[in-house]
Amino acid sequence: MSVPAAEPSGGAAASEPVTPLLEARGLSKRFPGVVALDDVSVSVRAGEVHGLVGENGAGKSTLLKIVSGVYSIDDGELLWKGEPVSFKGPPEAVKRGIELIPQELDLALGLSAAENIMMGIYPSRLGRVRWREVNRRAREIASTVHLEADLRRKCATLSPAEQRLVMIARALARNASLVIMDEPTVALSEVEVDALKTVVRELRQNGVTVIYVSHRLDEVLDLTDRVTVMKDGRVMSTEDTASMTKPRMIEQIIGRTYGEQFPQRREPPSADPLLKVRNISRGFVRDISFDLRPGEILGLAGLVGSGRSEIVRMVFGADPREQGEIEMDGRPVKLKNPQQAVRLGLSLLPEDRRGQGAIVNMSIAANVSLPVLRRFAMRGTGLIYDRVENRAVRESIGQFNVNTPSVRRPLKFLSGGNQQKALIAKWDMSNSRVFMFDEPTAGVDVGAKQEIYARIAKLAQGGAGVIVISSELEEVVGLCHRVLVMREGRCVGELKGGAISEAAILELCYAA
Amino acid sequence: MSGIRPTEDSPVAVDGDGGGAAVPPSGAPTALRQRSLSDSIGPFFQRYGVLIAFAAVVIFFSLERSAFLTLVNLRAVFSGAAALSVLAAVLTVPMMMGDFDLSVGYNTQVLGAIVVTLMAYRGWDAGSSIIVTIIIGAIIGTLLGSLIAWSKVSAFVITLGAGILLQGVELRITQGHTIFQGLSQSYIRLAQEKFLTFTLPVWIALVVSIILWYVTGHSVLGRRMAAVGGNQEAARLSGINVERMRTVGFIIVGVGAAVAAVIITSQAASDYADAATGLLIPAYAGVFLGAAVLRPGEFHIWGTLIGVLFMSIIQNGLTLMNYSSSTTNVVQGAIFIAAVLTSRIGRQRT
């Protein structure tokens, strides 16, 4: 069995104080213009699943990056098994058994799953890698995390859930005693989330300690033993999860009382459809037809890989469609590339933020203003008025509470969730008439989610048509007027108004 | 992927210096102090390392040779670097989008042959010959750029082939002859004309740079190019015509090659074999040195200009000190590598 046992744990309910596996004492970390961590003290006990929650930019990722050796410490101490440590890079943390599984997985996509799992620890003889041994060991470890895919497949061909499991398996292969999971369930379907939870519970049984970071609070409540709430670079509290409730957790996270999560739904006025999609097909996605009326929020539900993203990409012209027609305002439109789509007033927030949405080395302002750049430029010469642009961008991202000292900073200096908010602001500014949001709240904190929902509702009230794709059913149910459910590339059902419920959607997702 | 980045994209540049030295248990405070010192020096070197080296070289040469820091010498250095500066500046633009143009030397050579033969063999006047040559440069850039952008084959490979092809075209035009007869006096005077102490080519290089600085740094076009360079797919999904942007990059190179060709042939008062083909490598040296200046990891026009000047000054200074061109090359190469390395020292941990 390759699953490592952590150091002999003192028993879960030890009465005397045990040395924590990991302890941070007064940690501080500053970046230019921002205090990312401010006197943070937290301890993680051996063998527990420790939840870590907080808004985007609350300092969770910074803390984890210090723990895993990515960042250095400005102030304070980090203790590993009671001894002060200061990692000079991730390899040192890994050597001691600390494994970070980041939200954006860093797998070698071109290599096989087995190679990824065994990366860096290939068994070899006389300098030759013993591939049979690699595959055998990888298979053994993969089975402990219920990864059933063929490990000879390239990682690029695995589903996001399987890729996540490959990362966990890799951590175990290197004998991790602390596994840190940052937003492990983003882009996973409900079933996959359940499977992942089972894996986490089994890790705990085998003595592996887990730090579990998620914006999905139900998951955190369900899975963790203790939970730490962070806000503005500080620790608000660490408590036994059993004594924690969701409303109280939310209040600690956002630092205020939390009203209705979803805005009130207003029925769209009866009008001619804004967008008419007829029989569009591409690859496994066949014959999709739907109308979108002004003021309407249409949900696309279904498992990851059921063809939801493919539909909006086709409509936006990001992928060419093999057949089918699209009409806007009753007139046929070509929509052969995103350029035409933007010109016609369509917006697409893509699912893959890092690969398709964010231009991380450009400034926040340049990212946000990109589709509407001409608006800030002198006619004829194309000279951009920086000041006008800055003001408009500041206003736009301000609606989503993106904290930044300047909009001229590179986008990469924002936390993942704040990047997402900035990208929503980008399309929000475009005056589009059809908005397509693919997983709009992925990695976004609970307070900001509320703002995004309100904004989506407002866009619809202003007469735009909105299509929302989400793996969080709660979101689809709370937000949409109408929901199309996808399964294996086909539309298998439509739910309206009061008929929309998580149960009804799930039933359609899985009905054979 | 046609993109090649000089340095790490990630804000979290981690150097793998985890050489296995055990951390002393009580060593945390000292480690802290040491790090904060290197933290402040690192970024400074990253930004200003090349500039400091530049200044040091200038000071060294002016102490060694009194002829170095004179107006006459500087005029010669600037005039000599003018064509190279134009080429390096225009090459910076596709480089921002990750595209190399390896054909630029031959391209310049062909355009030089064209502008000279139009005058010498066809009897055209200087003005129309120059204009037509610039148009041809733009056409070559358009063809090359569209081919690269729409075929999605890497620019590195396509321009490699295009270079060989253009070499043949040049040979066909000139038959390998040096052409010096039949050039009008007005054309030759172009390079000698002085304006505010410097020759016209120096001012042309400056104007080209200012235009490119404006386009790349402050215009809608430049912003879109930067987006393409940063994340092609994100740019496309923002409604940007990626293919068009990349093509425009090569059109700019084509026009720049024509301008450089005019400067070179006018300065030499002739068109001779290999007048421009050797400029490819020094031009890219300037571009990459430039990416190590002020905004580390980013290609930008002023950086490129500083890079070209740096290399030219080294050459000039060593020549004044009577070193042979073999020595000059060795020193230039070594300094280039050292400068690029210096700019990476600052890749410190955050």
> How confident is residue A320, by pLDDT bands cut at 50, 70 and 90?
very high
Q: Using an 8 Å Cβ cutoff, are A472 and A483 in contact?
A: no
Which among A71, A341, A359 has CB closest to B234?
A359
Q: What percent of chain A has pLDDT over 90?
A: 55
Chain A CB contacts of B236 below 8 Å: 318, 337-338
- Determine, for residues B237 and A348 on separate chains, whether the beta-carbon distance falls below 8 Å: yes
Question: What 3-state class would DSSP assign to A261?
Answer: coil
The neighbour count for residue A428, using CB atoms within 10 Å, is: 23
| A10 part of a folded domain | no
What residue has token string 């294996």? Answer: A488
Q: Token pair for residue A473?
A: 């059913």
Spacing of C-alpha A110 from chain mean position:
23
Of residues B112, B120, B156, the one with CA closest to residue B136: B112
Amino acid at A16: E
Q: Token pair for residue A347?
A: 């917006």
Q: How far is A488 from chain B (nearest CA, A)?
A: 25
pLDDT of residue B344: 66
Bridge partners for B194 per DSSP: B199
H helix or E strand, kind and range, residue A438: strand A434-438
* CATH number of the domain within which A498 lies: 3.40.50.300
Which among B9, B223, B237 has CB closest to A361?
B9
The interface pTM score, or ipTM, of the predicted complex is 0.82
Indicate which of B26, B35, B238 best probes the interface with A, i.e. most A CBs within 10 Å of its own CB: B238
Would you say residue B5 has pLDDT above 80? Answer: no
| B76 part of a folded domain | yes
Indicate which of A28, A312, A362, A367 best probes the interface with B, i.e. most B CBs within 10 Å of its own CB: A362
Bridge partners for A124 per DSSP: A129
Of residues B259, B263, B253, B269, the one with CA closest to residue B119: B269
User: Does A422 share its domain with A470?
Assistant: no
- Determine, for residues B23 and A86 on separate chains, whether the beta-carbon distance falls below 8 Å: yes
Of residues B332, B294, B326, B338, the one with CA closest to residue B313: B332
* Separation in Å, CA B110 to CA B115, B248, B251: 9, 20, 16
For Cα atoms A222, A224, A226, give the angle at the middle one, nearest 5 degrees.
130
Question: What 3-state class would DSSP assign to B343?
Answer: helix
| A47 part of a folded domain | yes
User: Does A63 share its domain with A184?
Assistant: yes
The neighbour count for residue A253, using CB atoms within 10 Å, is: 22
* Residues A229, A238: Cα–Cα separation, whole Å: 6
- Determine, for residues A377 and B219 on separate chains, whether the beta-carbon distance falls below 8 Å: yes
Q: Token pair for residue A337?
A: 């590339």
pLDDT of residue A17: 65
* Residue at which a domain ends, from A254, A274, A290: A254
**Which residue on chain A is closest to B244 by alpha carbon?**
A339
pLDDT of residue A509: 82
* Residues B240, B232: Cα–Cα separation, whole Å: 9
Least confident residue range of A339-353, A444-458, B309-323: A444-458
pLDDT of residue B38: 52
Chain A CB contacts of B18 below 8 Å: 69, 87-92
User: Does A283 share its domain with A249?
Assistant: no
Task: Please state the length of chain A.
Answer: 512
What residue has token string 């050039």? Answer: B183
| A7 part of a folded domain | no
Of residues A108, A420, A361, A91, the one with CA closest to residue B11: A361
Q: Token pair for residue A438?
A: 């693919």
pLDDT of residue A33: 67
| A11 part of a folded domain | no
> How confident is residue A19, by pLDDT bands cut at 50, 70 and 90?
confident
Integer-rounded Cα radius of gyration of chain A: 24
Please count the structural domains in chain A.
Answer: 3
Q: Using an 8 Å Cβ cutoff, are A153 and A107 in contact?
A: no
The neighbour count for residue A345, using CB atoms within 10 Å, is: 16
Q: Using an 8 Å Cβ cutoff, are A482 and A298 in contact?
A: yes
| A396 part of a folded domain | yes
- Determine, for residues A72 and B35 on separate chains, whether the beta-carbon distance falls below 8 Å: yes
* Residues B310, B301: Cα–Cα separation, whole Å: 14
Least confident residue range of A20-29, A32-41, A329-338, B157-166: A32-41
Chain A CB contacts of B233 below 8 Å: 355-356
Which among B14, B239, B350 has CB closest to A339?
B239
Would you say residue B48 has pLDDT above 50? Answer: yes
> How confident is residue A375, by pLDDT bands cut at 50, 70 and 90?
very high
Q: Domain containing B324: what range?
A: 47-345
User: Does A425 share its domain with A328?
Assistant: no
- Determine, for residues B238 and A342 on separate chains, whether the beta-carbon distance falls below 8 Å: yes
Helices (H) and strands (E) in chain B, counts: 13, 2
| B37 part of a folded domain | no
* CATH number of the domain within which B237 lies: 1.10.3470.10
What are the pLDDT digits (tens) for B264-321?
999 999 999 888 999 999 999 999 999 888 887 789 999 999 999 999 999 999 999 9
- Determine, for residues A373 and B220 on separate chains, whether the beta-carbon distance falls below 8 Å: yes
| B244 part of a folded domain | yes
Average pLDDT for A435-457: 88
pLDDT of residue B210: 97
| B34 part of a folded domain | no
| A2 part of a folded domain | no
Of residues A405 and B37, more confidently modeled: A405
Tell me phi and psi for residue A474, to 5 degrees.
-50, -40
Q: Token pair for residue A250?
A: 């939310």
Q: Token pair for residue B252?
A: 């700019």
Q: In whole numbers, what is the pLDDT of chain A averaged over residues? A: 88
Which among B31, B223, B239 has CB closest to A86?
B31
Indicate which of B96, B150, B220, B228 best probes the interface with A, i.e. most A CBs within 10 Å of its own CB: B220
User: Does A380 share its domain with A478?
Assistant: no
User: Does A395 share its domain with A278?
Assistant: no
Would you say residue B36 has pLDDT above 60? Answer: no
| A1 part of a folded domain | no
Chain A CB contacts of B224 below 8 Å: 370, 373
Q: Using an 8 Å Cβ cutoff, are A290 and A327 in contact?
A: no
User: Does A52 share its domain with A198?
Assistant: yes
pLDDT of residue A266: 80
Would you say residue A284 has pLDDT above 50? Answer: yes
* Residue at which a domain ends, from A381, A409, A429: A429
Which among A75, A355, A384 has CB closest to B233?
A355
Of residues A35 and B246, more confidently modeled: B246
| B39 part of a folded domain | no
| A15 part of a folded domain | no
Average pLDDT for A340-357: 93
What are the pLDDT digits (tens) for A74-96?
999 999 999 999 898 889 999 99
What residue has token string 């002023």? Answer: B302
* Residues A83, A72: Cα–Cα separation, whole Å: 17
User: Does A76 share its domain with A215?
Assistant: yes
| B9 part of a folded domain | no
Q: How far is B287 from chain A (nearest CA, A)?
A: 19
pLDDT of residue B168: 94
* Residues B195, A121: Cα–Cα separation, whole Å: 67
Amino acid at A287: D
Would you say residue A9 has pLDDT above 50? Answer: no
User: Does A47 share its domain with A193?
Assistant: yes
* Residue at which a domain ends, from A236, A254, A272: A254
Q: How far is B23 from chain A (nearest CA, A)?
A: 7
- In Å, the largest CA–CA distance within chain B is 84
Average pLDDT for A368-383: 92
* Residues A476, A505: Cα–Cα separation, whole Å: 9
| B20 part of a folded domain | no
Among A216-220, A440-444, B168-172, the range with the most confident prediction by mean pLDDT is: B168-172
Which among B32, B227, B298 has CB closest to A370?
B227
Q: In whole numbers, what is the pLDDT of chain B averaged over residues? A: 86
Please count the structural domains in chain B.
Answer: 1
Q: Domain containing A455: what range?
A: 259-345+432-512
Question: What 3-state class would DSSP assign to A319?
Answer: coil
* Residues A178, A201: Cα–Cα separation, whole Å: 14
Q: How far is A211 from chain B (nearest CA, A)?
A: 22
> How confident is residue A161, by pLDDT bands cut at 50, 70 and 90?
confident
Q: How far is B30 from chain A (nearest CA, A)?
A: 11
* Separation in Å, CA A361 to CA A133, A172, A426, B163, B229: 41, 34, 16, 32, 10
User: Does A63 share its domain with A78?
Assistant: yes
Q: How far is A194 from chain B (nearest CA, A)?
A: 32
* Residues A216, B303: Cα–Cα separation, whole Å: 47
* Residues A34, A26: Cα–Cα separation, whole Å: 17
Would you say residue B44 has pLDDT above 80? Answer: no
Indicate which of A72, A106, A364, A427 best probes the interface with B, i.e. most B CBs within 10 Å of its own CB: A72
* Residues B199, A4: Cα–Cα separation, whole Å: 74
**Which residue on chain A is closest to B241 by alpha carbon?**
A339
pLDDT of residue B41: 66
* Residues A65, A71: Cα–Cα separation, whole Å: 6
* Residues B130, B266: Cα–Cα separation, whole Å: 11
pLDDT of residue B8: 37
Average pLDDT for B81-99: 97
Average pLDDT for A357-366: 94
User: Does A271 share its domain with A398?
Assistant: no
pLDDT of residue A14: 44
Indicate which of A78, A314, A373 best probes the interface with B, i.e. most B CBs within 10 Å of its own CB: A373
Q: Using an 8 Å Cβ cutoff, are B147 and B155 in contact?
A: no
Q: How far is B50 from chain A (nearest CA, A)?
A: 22
Of residues B97 and A15, more confidently modeled: B97
User: Does A278 share its domain with A393?
Assistant: no
pLDDT of residue B6: 43
Average pLDDT for B222-245: 96
For Cα atoms B155, B136, B157, give the angle at the middle one, nearest 5 degrees.
15
Bridge partners for A54 per DSSP: A230
> How confident is residue B250, by pLDDT bands cut at 50, 70 and 90?
very high
* Residues B207, B201: Cα–Cα separation, whole Å: 10
* Residues A296, A497: Cα–Cα separation, whole Å: 11
Is beta strand A83-85 parallel, antiparallel or unpaired with respect to A75-80? antiparallel
Chain B CB contacts of A388 below 8 Å: none
- Determine, for residues A362 and B23 on separate chains, whether the beta-carbon distance falls below 8 Å: no
Average pLDDT for B98-108: 96
Average pLDDT for A430-459: 89
Q: How far is A76 from chain B (nearest CA, A)?
A: 9
Would you say residue B17 has pLDDT above 70? Answer: no
What are the pLDDT digits (tens) for A98-115?
999 988 778 888 899 999
pLDDT of residue B3: 41
Q: Token pair for residue B173?
A: 């035009």
What are the pLDDT digits (tens) for A460-492?
999 999 999 998 888 999 999 999 999 889 999
Chain A CB contacts of B234 below 8 Å: 350, 355-359
